[in-house]
């Protein structure tokens, strides 16, 4: 998987070859990260890539031409068919489903805005997908681009050493994850691990974990339950919880 990131802060992406799973993936050449700074395509002697907004108002807008040249340079370096993703609060919400689809691509161009945003005409003509990682405003698209990259990289074949941990995670079945515990079984203040996990009964453990996932999702994210196809057993359990909540 190749990422070409268009950013006026390319140094931020050095982080990616420095730490954890992503740096291993870069070292093993499963992932390539390159950056393009639109400043190199600025056409005036002040190297400016932003200008005042038509219609007035505060702040600056990133200009069309340096960004277009950056995208063309990225497509030349990767492949003409690489998708261009613009990270912005106006984008479609990022979901695990979207991440899974991105992970099937060979190359992605991530466009990071700054200031008040970019010239809308660039979005219309050159952006394939506009993606939001949440309903808040940051100072630029770089951190969201890194969030997107991290979510994709961990899914690539051979990146996680334990091939199961990616699909066993939160969201692979559309549910939140269950609680986890490790040694010691009893803490100095007496806090214990749920008995069933020490029982060695794998069938029971699996059942318990599934129930915990369902319960947590019901309690914390009822919106997620609505999108699921549940077994009759699960539906009954939820119906019971709804009943107890009413009392």
Binding interface with ligand 9WO (CB under 6 A): 59, 87-89, 113, 116-117, 132-134, 137-138, 140-141, 144
Q: Which of 38, 66, 154, 234 is catalytic?
A: 154
Q: Note if 135 is an active site residue.
A: no
The CB-of-50 to ligand 9WO minimum distance in angstroms stands at 11
In the complex, the smallest distance separating the C-beta of residue 134 from ligand 9WO, rounded to whole angstroms, is 5
| Nearer Cβ to ligand 9WO (119/234) | 119
Annotation marks residue 154 as catalytic: yes
Q: Which helix or strand (DSSP H or E) is residue 90 part of?
A: strand 83-93
Q: Using the structure block, give the residue that is written with the tokens 């912005």.
A: 88
Q: Which helix (H) or strand (E) holds 206?
A: helix 202-220
By C-beta, is 123 or 214 nearer to ligand 9WO? 123
Q: How far is the CB of 113 from ligand 9WO (least distance, A)?
A: 3
Q: Is 226 a catalytic residue?
A: no
Q: Which is nearer to ligand 9WO, 89 or 174 (CB)?
A: 89
CB of 230 to ligand 9WO, least distance (A): 31
169 is catalytic: yes
Cα 117 to chain centroid distance, Å, stands at 20
Q: Looking at beta carbons, which residue is closest to ligand 9WO? A: 113
Positive or negative: CA dihedral 130, 131, 135, 140 = negative
**Angular region, 61: left φ>0, alpha ψ -120 to 50, beta rest:** beta
Q: Which is nearer to ligand 9WO, 5 or 87 (CB)?
A: 87
Which backbone phi and psi does 223 adopt, to 5 degrees? -60, -30
Q: Considering the candidates 65, 89, 177, 216, report the single residue annotated as catalytic.
A: 89
Q: For residue 221, give both structure tokens.
A: 């994210």
CB atoms within 10 A of CB 102: 19
Exactly one of 92, 106, 116, 233 is catalytic; name it.
Answer: 116
Instruction: Give the residue among 116, 143, 12 at the shortest CA–CA distance from 55.
Output: 116
Structure tokens at 223: 């919106």
Q: Which is nearer to ligand 9WO, 88 or 217 (CB)?
A: 88
Smallest gap from residue 60 Cβ to ligand 9WO (A) = 10
Q: Which residues are catalytic?
A: 89, 116, 154, 169
């Amino acid at each position: 998987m190749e990422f070409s990131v268009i950013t006026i802060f390319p140094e931020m992406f050095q982080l990616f070859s420095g730490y954890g799973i992503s740096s291993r993936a870069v070292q093993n050449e499963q992932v390539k990260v390159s950056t393009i700074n639109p400043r190199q395509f600025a056409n005036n002697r002040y190297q400016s890539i932003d200008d005042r907004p038509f219609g007035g108002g505060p702040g600056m807008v990133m200009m069309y031409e340096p960004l277009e040249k950056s995208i063309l340079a990225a497509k030349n370096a990767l492949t003409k068919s690489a998708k261009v993703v613009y990270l912005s609060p106006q984008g479609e919400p990022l979901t695990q489903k979207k991440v899974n689809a991105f992970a099937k691509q060979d190359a992605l161009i991530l466009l990071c805005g700054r200031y008040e945003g970019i010239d809308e005409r660039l979005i219309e003509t050159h952006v394939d997908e506009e993606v939001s990682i949440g309903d808040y405003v940051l100072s630029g698209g770089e951190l969201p681009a890194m969030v997107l990259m991290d979510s994709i990289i961990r899914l690539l074949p051979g990146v996680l050493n334990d091939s199961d941990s990616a699909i066993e995670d939160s969201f692979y079945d559309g549910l939140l994850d269950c609680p986890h515990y490790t040694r010691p079984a009893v803490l100095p203040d007496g806090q214990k691990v749920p008995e069933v996990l020490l029982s060695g009964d794998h069938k029971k453990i699996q059942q318990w974990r599934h129930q915990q996932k369902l319960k947590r999702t019901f309690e914390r994210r009822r919106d997620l339950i609505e999108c699921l196809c549940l077994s009759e057993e699960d539906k009954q359990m939820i119906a019971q919880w709804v009943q107890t909540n009413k009392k």
